[in-house]
């Protein structure tokens, strides 16, 4: 099955990192770091999300997106700036572009279950009454993806020469987002702007992104030499990439990978595409000041000091989801 994943995307086994075997763990850390310094993406197997749960999640969100427009719009709250619930068509525009992406999506966020005061920063999740099974499936998937993300960040910390648990407290009750995406059918391609695409070229805002297999091809990654290559996540694997916050923290040592979702051929524009990324965010107070270990004479400090919350706010404005 591995031939469906681009040959340049390393496939790593998370069980190597959690095995308790120092040699296997060290090899995983090395391979992960090398991948993030070359292609910027890795495929991870033996993570904590099951195929059964993934299929269940895709099923319920497909039913939601295929429901009547007026029903979906009951769960769209502009005052939440796209952080929870439904976000309709033509609402998000990639940084540096003027034409909105050809997509609609649904956001599920963090639910704080302890007495952490950060719970006051987060709005409640939005659950459609017509699809009661969404809450259980999305909540369970969120927790499993978050757990996987913590392990990946521990490996990244070791690669950077930090304490293994460097990120643990920074992502505990973090502002992570599970996004269910629907790239809707275009019945008449001539009716959309010529530069409109499913998702214009962009880097993710967060620390890392974990992507479960999409329903169709279309995802492309910009390789370091400027060539776009196709990527398709396998059902049993998660594709993981670096986001802008980690790029900023490491002063470009780990580079945020530019990617896009291209339009299919005209004859397939009438078909839907579904995708489900998990955007691993830290707590808003996390300091994104470049690590001193990533700054030297050959790599001067590239970014101003900023917290994760400040950076997210800046990007939401750029995306058109929030006004100044």
Residue-wise pLDDT tens digits, 34-61 = 999 887 889 999 999 999 999 999 999 9
Where residue 295 falls among pLDDT bands split at 50, 70, 90? Answer: very high
* Mean predicted confidence (pLDDT) in 128-133: 97
pLDDT per residue as tens digits for the range 206-223? 999 999 876 568 888 888
CA neighbor of 106 nearest in space, from 125, 130, 133: 125
Alpha-carbon separation of residue 35 from 50, 107, 238 (angstroms): 24, 29, 15
Residue 29 lies in a domain: no
Where in the sequence is the domain holding 133, given as residue range(s)? 48-319
What's the 3-state SS for 226-282?
A: CCEEECCCCCCCEEEEECHHHHHHCCCCCCCCCEEECCCCHHHCCCCEEEEEEEECC
The SS3 of residue 86 is: strand
Q: Is the pLDDT of residue 149 over 80?
A: yes
* 213, 231 Cβ separation under 8 angstroms: no
32 inside domain: no
Q: Give the per-residue pLDDT at 176.
A: 97
Interval 233-285: pLDDT, tens: 677 899 999 999 999 999 999 989 899 998 888 888 888 999 999 999 999 99
Q: What percent of the chain has pLDDT over 70?
A: 96
Residue 126: inside a domain, yes or no? yes
Quick check: is 15 in a domain?
no
Q: 155-171: b or e for each residue (b if 16 or more CB lie within 10 Å)?
A: bbbbbbeeeeebbeebb
The number of domains in the chain is 1
Other CB atoms within 10 Å distance of the CB of residue 14: 20
Give the CATH number of the domain where residue 184 resides: 2.60.120.330
Asked if the structure places residue 108 within a domain, the reply is: yes
**269: in domain:** yes
pLDDT in tens, 11-34: 999 999 999 999 999 999 999 999
Is 13 domain-assigned? no
Distance, CA of 311 to CA of 303 (rounded, Å): 11
Is the predicted pLDDT of residue 1 greater than 50, yes or no?
no
pLDDT tier for residue 7 given thresholds of 50, 70 and 90: low
- Within a domain: residue 43? no
């Amino acid at each position: 099955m591995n031939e469906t994943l681009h040959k340049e995307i390393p496939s790593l086994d998370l069980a190597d990192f959690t095995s308790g075997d120092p040699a296997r763990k060290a090899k995983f850390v090395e391979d992960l770091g090398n991948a993030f310094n070359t292609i910027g993406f890795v495929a991870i197997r033996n993570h904590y999300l099951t195929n059964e749960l993934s299929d269940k999640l895709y099923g319920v969100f497909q039913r939601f997106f295929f429901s009547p427009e007026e029903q979906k719009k009951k769960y769209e709250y502009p005052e939440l700036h796209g952080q929870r619930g439904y976000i309709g068509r033509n609402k998000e525009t990639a940084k540096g572009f003027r034409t909105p992406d050809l997509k609609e999506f649904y956001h599920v966020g963090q639910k704080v279950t302890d007495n952490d005061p950060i719970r006051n920063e987060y709005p409640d999740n939005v659950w459609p009454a017509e699809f009661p099974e969404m809450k259980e499936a999305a909540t369970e998937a969120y927790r499993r993806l978050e757990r996987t993300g913590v392990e990946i960040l521990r490996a990244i910390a070791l690669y950077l020469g930090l304490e293994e648990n460097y990120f643990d407290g920074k992502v505990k009750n973090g502002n992570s987002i599970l996004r269910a995406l629907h790239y809707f059918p275009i019945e008449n391609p001539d009716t959309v702007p010529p530069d409109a695409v499913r998702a214009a070229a962009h880097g993710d805002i967060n620390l890392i992104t974990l992507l479960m297999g999409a329903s169709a091809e279309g995802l492309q990654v910009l390789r370091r030499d400027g060539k776009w290559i196709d990527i398709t996540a396998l059902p049993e694997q998660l594709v993981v990439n670096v986001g802008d916050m980690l790029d900023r923290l490491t002063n470009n040592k780990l580079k945020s990978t530019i990617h896009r979702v291209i339009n299919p051929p005209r004859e397939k524009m009438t078909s839907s595409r579904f995708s489900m990324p998990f955007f691993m965010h830290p707590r808003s107070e996390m300091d994104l000041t470049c690590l001193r270990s990533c700054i030297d004479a050959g790599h001067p400090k590239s970014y101003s000091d900023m917290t994760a919350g400040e950076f997210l706010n800046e990007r939401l404005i750029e995306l058109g989801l929030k006004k100044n």
